[in-house]
Amino acid sequence: MRSAPAILALGTATPPNRYSQREIYDISTRYFPMYRDRRIEQIFMSSDIEYRHLAIDRDTFVPFETADELHARFSANAVPVAAEAIRRCLEGGRIAVDEIDYIVVATCTGYLCPGLTALLIKELGMRTNLQRADLVGMGCAGAMPALQRGYDYVMAYPGRKALVVTVEICSACYYVDDSLETVVGNAICADGAAAAVVAREEAAGGPAIARFETLLEPSYIDTVGFQFKSGMLRIVLSKDIRDNAGGLAETLINSMLQQEGIAREDVRHWVIHSGGRKVIDSIKKEAGLSEEQLKHSRCVLRNFGNMSSSTVLFVLNEVMTNGQPQAGDIGVMLAMGPGLAIEGAILRW
Protein backbone atom coordinates (compact mmCIF):
# COMPACT_ATOMS: atom_id res chain seq x y z
CA MET A 1 0.00 0.00 0.00
CA ARG A 2 1.38 3.43 -0.92
CA SER A 3 1.80 6.04 1.82
CA ALA A 4 0.31 8.99 -0.09
CA PRO A 5 -3.37 8.99 -1.08
CA ALA A 6 -3.94 8.90 -4.82
CA ILE A 7 -6.74 9.67 -7.25
CA LEU A 8 -7.72 6.22 -8.48
CA ALA A 9 -10.45 7.33 -10.89
CA LEU A 10 -12.10 10.50 -12.16
CA GLY A 11 -15.37 11.16 -13.99
CA THR A 12 -17.22 14.23 -15.24
CA ALA A 13 -20.75 14.98 -16.43
CA THR A 14 -22.89 17.86 -17.66
CA PRO A 15 -26.58 18.41 -18.37
CA PRO A 16 -27.41 17.27 -21.92
CA ASN A 17 -28.35 20.70 -23.30
CA ARG A 18 -25.33 22.37 -24.91
CA TYR A 19 -25.42 25.98 -26.03
CA SER A 20 -23.04 28.04 -28.11
CA GLN A 21 -21.95 31.30 -26.56
CA ARG A 22 -23.63 33.21 -29.37
CA GLU A 23 -26.92 31.41 -28.72
CA ILE A 24 -26.79 32.26 -25.02
CA TYR A 25 -26.13 35.91 -25.80
CA ASP A 26 -28.98 36.01 -28.31
CA ILE A 27 -31.36 34.47 -25.76
CA SER A 28 -30.24 37.09 -23.25
CA THR A 29 -30.90 39.99 -25.57
CA ARG A 30 -34.35 38.61 -26.36
CA TYR A 31 -35.43 39.06 -22.76
CA PHE A 32 -33.08 41.67 -21.33
CA PRO A 33 -32.95 44.86 -23.43
CA MET A 34 -29.99 46.20 -21.45
CA TYR A 35 -27.90 43.35 -22.92
CA ARG A 36 -28.30 44.86 -26.39
CA ASP A 37 -25.12 46.78 -25.86
CA ARG A 38 -21.84 46.50 -27.73
CA ARG A 39 -19.81 46.36 -24.52
CA ILE A 40 -21.91 43.50 -23.10
CA GLU A 41 -21.77 41.63 -26.42
CA GLN A 42 -17.96 41.88 -26.28
CA ILE A 43 -17.94 40.47 -22.74
CA PHE A 44 -19.82 37.42 -23.98
CA MET A 45 -18.05 36.95 -27.28
CA SER A 46 -14.48 37.70 -26.16
CA SER A 47 -14.68 35.32 -23.18
CA ASP A 48 -12.82 32.51 -25.01
CA ILE A 49 -15.90 30.36 -24.33
CA GLU A 50 -17.50 28.62 -27.30
CA TYR A 51 -19.94 26.29 -25.55
CA ARG A 52 -21.63 25.81 -22.18
CA HIS A 53 -24.01 23.19 -20.80
CA LEU A 54 -27.04 24.53 -18.95
CA ALA A 55 -29.94 22.73 -17.27
CA ILE A 56 -32.50 24.73 -19.24
CA ASP A 57 -34.59 23.84 -22.27
CA ARG A 58 -34.09 26.19 -25.20
CA ASP A 59 -37.69 25.59 -26.35
CA THR A 60 -39.44 26.33 -23.06
CA PHE A 61 -37.06 28.51 -21.04
CA VAL A 62 -38.37 31.91 -20.02
CA PRO A 63 -36.35 33.96 -17.51
CA PHE A 64 -37.73 36.14 -14.70
CA GLU A 65 -38.04 32.98 -12.61
CA THR A 66 -38.89 33.11 -8.92
CA ALA A 67 -36.59 31.94 -6.14
CA ASP A 68 -38.74 28.82 -5.82
CA GLU A 69 -38.38 28.03 -9.52
CA LEU A 70 -34.60 28.48 -9.41
CA HIS A 71 -34.39 26.22 -6.36
CA ALA A 72 -36.48 23.62 -8.19
CA ARG A 73 -33.96 23.63 -11.06
CA PHE A 74 -31.11 22.93 -8.65
CA SER A 75 -33.07 20.23 -6.86
CA ALA A 76 -34.10 18.52 -10.12
CA ASN A 77 -30.66 18.56 -11.75
CA ALA A 78 -27.92 18.39 -9.11
CA VAL A 79 -28.53 14.76 -8.18
CA PRO A 80 -28.77 13.25 -11.71
CA VAL A 81 -25.76 15.17 -13.03
CA ALA A 82 -23.65 14.29 -9.98
CA ALA A 83 -24.82 10.67 -10.14
CA GLU A 84 -23.73 10.44 -13.79
CA ALA A 85 -20.27 11.77 -12.92
CA ILE A 86 -20.01 9.20 -10.13
CA ARG A 87 -21.07 6.33 -12.41
CA ARG A 88 -18.46 7.33 -15.02
CA CYS A 89 -15.82 7.61 -12.32
CA LEU A 90 -16.54 4.21 -10.81
CA GLU A 91 -16.88 2.48 -14.19
CA GLY A 92 -13.63 4.03 -15.45
CA GLY A 93 -11.79 2.88 -12.34
CA ARG A 94 -13.52 -0.53 -12.23
CA ILE A 95 -14.64 0.26 -8.69
CA ALA A 96 -17.87 -1.18 -7.31
CA VAL A 97 -20.25 1.22 -5.63
CA ASP A 98 -20.14 -0.81 -2.40
CA GLU A 99 -16.36 -0.31 -2.20
CA ILE A 100 -16.91 3.35 -1.25
CA ASP A 101 -16.59 4.07 2.47
CA TYR A 102 -16.93 7.85 2.57
CA ILE A 103 -18.55 10.53 0.42
CA VAL A 104 -18.03 14.28 0.44
CA VAL A 105 -19.95 16.63 -1.86
CA ALA A 106 -19.11 20.28 -2.55
CA THR A 107 -21.53 22.79 -4.07
CA CYS A 108 -22.28 26.50 -3.83
CA THR A 109 -25.16 26.99 -6.27
CA GLY A 110 -27.97 25.52 -4.20
CA TYR A 111 -28.95 24.31 -0.76
CA LEU A 112 -30.75 21.07 0.03
CA CYS A 113 -31.62 19.43 3.34
CA PRO A 114 -31.24 16.43 3.44
CA GLY A 115 -27.97 17.23 1.69
CA LEU A 116 -26.59 15.87 -1.56
CA THR A 117 -24.64 13.11 0.18
CA ALA A 118 -27.83 11.51 1.48
CA LEU A 119 -29.64 12.02 -1.81
CA LEU A 120 -26.79 10.47 -3.82
CA ILE A 121 -26.54 7.49 -1.47
CA LYS A 122 -30.22 6.81 -2.18
CA GLU A 123 -29.92 7.50 -5.93
CA LEU A 124 -26.97 5.15 -6.43
CA GLY A 125 -27.96 2.46 -3.95
CA MET A 126 -24.80 3.00 -1.94
CA ARG A 127 -24.16 1.46 1.45
CA THR A 128 -26.16 3.15 4.18
CA ASN A 129 -23.32 3.17 6.71
CA LEU A 130 -21.09 5.58 4.76
CA GLN A 131 -19.42 8.43 6.57
CA ARG A 132 -20.20 11.66 4.74
CA ALA A 133 -19.83 15.43 4.60
CA ASP A 134 -21.61 18.19 2.68
CA LEU A 135 -19.49 21.25 1.90
CA VAL A 136 -21.57 24.29 0.97
CA GLY A 137 -20.44 27.80 0.08
CA MET A 138 -16.78 27.35 -0.84
CA GLY A 139 -17.31 28.62 -4.37
CA CYS A 140 -15.02 27.84 -7.27
CA ALA A 141 -12.33 26.53 -4.92
CA GLY A 142 -14.65 23.89 -3.42
CA ALA A 143 -13.06 20.88 -5.15
CA MET A 144 -9.82 21.37 -3.27
CA PRO A 145 -11.14 21.29 0.33
CA ALA A 146 -13.38 18.39 -0.76
CA LEU A 147 -10.27 16.53 -1.95
CA GLN A 148 -8.60 17.44 1.34
CA ARG A 149 -11.44 15.82 3.30
CA GLY A 150 -11.14 12.68 1.16
CA TYR A 151 -7.38 12.72 1.69
CA ASP A 152 -7.80 13.09 5.47
CA TYR A 153 -10.28 10.22 5.59
CA VAL A 154 -8.07 7.68 3.81
CA MET A 155 -5.04 8.79 5.82
CA ALA A 156 -7.03 8.08 8.98
CA TYR A 157 -8.47 4.82 7.63
CA PRO A 158 -5.91 3.04 5.41
CA GLY A 159 -7.50 0.54 3.05
CA ARG A 160 -10.72 2.51 2.65
CA LYS A 161 -11.92 4.57 -0.31
CA ALA A 162 -13.31 8.11 -0.37
CA LEU A 163 -15.60 9.50 -3.07
CA VAL A 164 -15.16 13.22 -3.70
CA VAL A 165 -17.95 14.94 -5.67
CA THR A 166 -18.53 18.47 -6.92
CA VAL A 167 -21.74 19.59 -8.59
CA GLU A 168 -22.83 23.06 -9.66
CA ILE A 169 -26.04 24.14 -11.38
CA CYS A 170 -25.17 27.75 -12.11
CA SER A 171 -28.32 28.05 -14.22
CA ALA A 172 -30.20 27.81 -10.91
CA CYS A 173 -28.67 31.02 -9.58
CA TYR A 174 -28.42 33.48 -12.46
CA TYR A 175 -29.33 37.06 -11.61
CA VAL A 176 -29.91 40.04 -13.90
CA ASP A 177 -29.46 43.69 -12.98
CA ASP A 178 -27.60 46.64 -14.48
CA SER A 179 -24.17 45.77 -13.02
CA LEU A 180 -21.26 44.46 -15.05
CA GLU A 181 -20.42 41.79 -12.46
CA THR A 182 -23.74 40.00 -13.04
CA VAL A 183 -23.17 40.35 -16.79
CA VAL A 184 -19.79 38.65 -16.44
CA GLY A 185 -21.29 35.91 -14.28
CA ASN A 186 -24.01 35.25 -16.85
CA ALA A 187 -21.39 35.27 -19.61
CA ILE A 188 -19.11 32.60 -18.13
CA CYS A 189 -20.95 30.37 -15.62
CA ALA A 190 -22.18 26.89 -16.55
CA ASP A 191 -23.38 23.58 -15.11
CA GLY A 192 -21.36 20.43 -14.45
CA ALA A 193 -20.28 17.79 -11.97
CA ALA A 194 -17.13 15.78 -11.29
CA ALA A 195 -16.29 12.80 -9.09
CA ALA A 196 -13.01 11.30 -7.94
CA VAL A 197 -12.11 8.26 -5.86
CA VAL A 198 -9.24 8.79 -3.42
CA ALA A 199 -7.45 5.89 -1.71
CA ARG A 200 -4.03 4.76 -0.50
CA GLU A 201 -3.61 2.34 -3.35
CA GLU A 202 -1.62 2.26 -6.55
CA ALA A 203 -3.47 4.29 -9.18
CA ALA A 204 -3.62 3.17 -12.80
CA GLY A 205 -2.60 6.48 -14.35
CA GLY A 206 -3.91 8.70 -11.55
CA PRO A 207 -1.67 10.94 -9.46
CA ALA A 208 -0.75 10.72 -5.79
CA ILE A 209 -1.46 13.84 -3.77
CA ALA A 210 1.80 14.99 -2.18
CA ARG A 211 0.70 18.26 -0.57
CA PHE A 212 -2.19 20.65 -0.07
CA GLU A 213 -1.78 24.31 0.74
CA THR A 214 -4.14 27.26 1.18
CA LEU A 215 -3.56 30.99 0.82
CA LEU A 216 -6.40 33.16 2.15
CA GLU A 217 -6.33 36.91 1.54
CA PRO A 218 -9.10 38.35 3.78
CA SER A 219 -8.63 41.89 2.46
CA TYR A 220 -10.48 40.69 -0.66
CA ILE A 221 -13.21 38.82 1.21
CA ASP A 222 -15.98 40.94 -0.33
CA THR A 223 -14.77 40.59 -3.93
CA VAL A 224 -16.19 37.21 -4.89
CA GLY A 225 -19.08 34.99 -3.78
CA PHE A 226 -22.84 35.24 -3.58
CA GLN A 227 -25.21 37.56 -1.79
CA PHE A 228 -28.94 37.02 -1.21
CA LYS A 229 -31.34 39.43 -2.87
CA SER A 230 -35.09 38.81 -2.70
CA GLY A 231 -34.39 35.18 -1.83
CA MET A 232 -32.14 34.66 -4.86
CA LEU A 233 -28.39 34.25 -5.18
CA ARG A 234 -26.69 37.22 -6.83
CA ILE A 235 -23.10 36.75 -7.91
CA VAL A 236 -20.36 39.01 -6.55
CA LEU A 237 -17.48 39.11 -9.01
CA SER A 238 -15.18 42.11 -8.65
CA LYS A 239 -12.54 42.99 -11.23
CA ASP A 240 -10.09 42.82 -8.31
CA ILE A 241 -10.10 39.04 -8.77
CA ARG A 242 -8.55 39.14 -12.22
CA ASP A 243 -6.14 41.85 -11.11
CA ASN A 244 -4.88 39.92 -8.06
CA ALA A 245 -5.41 36.24 -8.88
CA GLY A 246 -2.07 35.85 -10.61
CA GLY A 247 0.04 37.36 -7.85
CA LEU A 248 -1.67 35.33 -5.12
CA ALA A 249 -1.39 32.15 -7.21
CA GLU A 250 2.33 32.74 -7.77
CA THR A 251 2.87 33.20 -4.02
CA LEU A 252 1.18 29.88 -3.30
CA ILE A 253 2.99 28.07 -6.12
CA ASN A 254 6.37 29.26 -4.86
CA SER A 255 5.56 28.16 -1.32
CA MET A 256 4.43 24.67 -2.34
CA LEU A 257 7.38 24.05 -4.66
CA GLN A 258 9.88 25.29 -2.10
CA GLN A 259 8.49 23.08 0.67
CA GLU A 260 8.49 20.05 -1.62
CA GLY A 261 11.96 20.82 -2.96
CA ILE A 262 10.70 20.98 -6.54
CA ALA A 263 12.23 23.22 -9.21
CA ARG A 264 9.75 25.14 -11.37
CA GLU A 265 11.09 23.56 -14.55
CA ASP A 266 10.37 20.07 -13.16
CA VAL A 267 6.61 20.69 -13.12
CA ARG A 268 5.20 19.02 -16.23
CA HIS A 269 1.44 19.43 -15.69
CA TRP A 270 -0.38 22.62 -14.71
CA VAL A 271 -3.95 21.96 -13.56
CA ILE A 272 -5.22 25.54 -13.31
CA HIS A 273 -8.86 26.38 -12.62
CA SER A 274 -10.53 27.85 -15.72
CA GLY A 275 -12.03 30.80 -13.87
CA GLY A 276 -12.23 32.99 -16.96
CA ARG A 277 -9.98 34.31 -19.71
CA LYS A 278 -8.61 37.21 -17.69
CA VAL A 279 -8.00 35.05 -14.61
CA ILE A 280 -6.00 32.57 -16.70
CA ASP A 281 -4.14 35.46 -18.35
CA SER A 282 -3.25 36.89 -14.93
CA ILE A 283 -1.87 33.57 -13.69
CA LYS A 284 0.00 33.10 -16.96
CA LYS A 285 1.70 36.47 -16.57
CA GLU A 286 2.55 36.31 -12.87
CA ALA A 287 3.57 32.63 -12.80
CA GLY A 288 5.47 32.85 -16.08
CA LEU A 289 3.52 30.03 -17.71
CA SER A 290 3.32 29.35 -21.44
CA GLU A 291 0.24 28.79 -23.58
CA GLU A 292 1.31 25.16 -23.91
CA GLN A 293 1.25 24.78 -20.13
CA LEU A 294 -2.22 26.32 -19.96
CA LYS A 295 -3.77 24.53 -22.94
CA HIS A 296 -5.86 22.17 -20.81
CA SER A 297 -7.32 25.06 -18.81
CA ARG A 298 -8.10 26.92 -22.03
CA CYS A 299 -9.70 23.78 -23.49
CA VAL A 300 -12.07 23.38 -20.54
CA LEU A 301 -12.97 27.07 -20.60
CA ARG A 302 -13.64 26.93 -24.34
CA ASN A 303 -15.87 23.86 -24.23
CA PHE A 304 -17.57 24.14 -20.84
CA GLY A 305 -17.17 27.62 -19.36
CA ASN A 306 -16.71 28.12 -15.61
CA MET A 307 -18.57 25.40 -13.68
CA SER A 308 -17.46 26.76 -10.32
CA SER A 309 -16.10 23.99 -8.04
CA SER A 310 -16.25 21.30 -10.73
CA THR A 311 -14.03 23.17 -13.17
CA VAL A 312 -10.59 22.29 -11.82
CA LEU A 313 -11.51 18.58 -11.82
CA PHE A 314 -12.54 18.92 -15.48
CA VAL A 315 -9.05 20.34 -16.10
CA LEU A 316 -7.46 17.43 -14.22
CA ASN A 317 -9.53 15.03 -16.31
CA GLU A 318 -8.30 16.75 -19.47
CA VAL A 319 -4.70 16.41 -18.27
CA MET A 320 -5.16 12.73 -17.38
CA THR A 321 -6.91 12.00 -20.69
CA ASN A 322 -4.87 14.07 -23.15
CA GLY A 323 -1.79 15.27 -21.27
CA GLN A 324 -0.04 11.87 -21.45
CA PRO A 325 1.21 11.89 -17.84
CA GLN A 326 4.05 9.46 -17.18
CA ALA A 327 5.36 7.84 -14.03
CA GLY A 328 7.52 10.37 -12.19
CA ASP A 329 5.71 13.44 -13.57
CA ILE A 330 4.90 16.31 -11.22
CA GLY A 331 1.80 18.51 -11.41
CA VAL A 332 0.54 21.67 -9.75
CA MET A 333 -3.22 21.92 -9.19
CA LEU A 334 -4.78 25.29 -8.37
CA ALA A 335 -8.27 26.67 -7.78
CA MET A 336 -9.53 29.93 -6.36
CA GLY A 337 -12.72 31.06 -4.70
CA PRO A 338 -14.36 33.26 -2.06
CA GLY A 339 -12.17 34.39 0.75
CA LEU A 340 -10.26 35.33 -1.45
CA ALA A 341 -8.82 31.82 -1.30
CA ILE A 342 -6.20 30.16 -3.48
CA GLU A 343 -6.18 26.41 -2.93
CA GLY A 344 -3.30 24.33 -4.24
CA ALA A 345 -1.96 20.78 -4.41
CA ILE A 346 1.16 19.02 -5.61
CA LEU A 347 0.48 15.90 -7.66
CA ARG A 348 2.95 13.08 -8.39
CA TRP A 349 2.38 10.40 -11.01
Question: Could you read off the pLDDT of 180-225 as tens digits, one per residue?
Answer: 999 999 999 999 999 999 999 877 778 999 999 999 999 988 888 8
Q: What is the pLDDT of residue 120?
A: 98
**Length of the chain, please?**
349
pLDDT for residue 283 is more than 90: yes
pLDDT for residue 237 is more than 90: no
Question: For 63-96, how does the pLDDT look when each residue is reduced to its tens digit (9 = 90+)?
Answer: 889 999 999 999 999 999 999 999 999 999 999 9
Mean of pLDDT values over 144-170? 97
pLDDT for residue 1 is more than 50: no
* Domains of the chain, each with CATH number or no CATH: 6-199 (3.40.47.10), 208-348 (3.40.47.10)
pLDDT for residue 131 is more than 80: yes
Q: What is the pLDDT of residue 128?
A: 96
pLDDT for residue 59 is more than 70: yes
Mean of pLDDT values over 165-191? 95
Q: Which of 195, 235, 161, 162 is nearest to 81 (CA)?
A: 195
Mean of pLDDT values over 254-276? 96
Whether 194 and 146 have beta carbons less than 8 Å apart is answered as: no
Percent of the chain whose pLDDT exceeds 70:
99
**Can you give the pTM of this predicted structure?**
0.96
Any residues with CB less than 8 A from the CB of 81 and at least 6 apart, and which? 13, 14, 15, 55, 167, 169, 191, 192, 193
Q: Between residues 41 and 244, which one has the greater pLDDT?
A: 41
Mean of pLDDT values over 162-175? 97
Strands 330-337 and 269-272: parallel
Q: What is the pLDDT of residue 245?
A: 87
How many C-beta atoms lie closer than 10 Å to residue 58's C-beta?
12
Whether 305 and 328 have beta carbons less than 8 Å apart is answered as: no
Q: Between residues 276 and 243, which one has the greater pLDDT?
A: 276
Mean of pLDDT values over 314-331? 96
Mean of pLDDT values over 113-142? 97
pLDDT for residue 2 is more than 60: no
Which range, of 81-95, 124-138, 224-238, averages the lowest pLDDT?
224-238
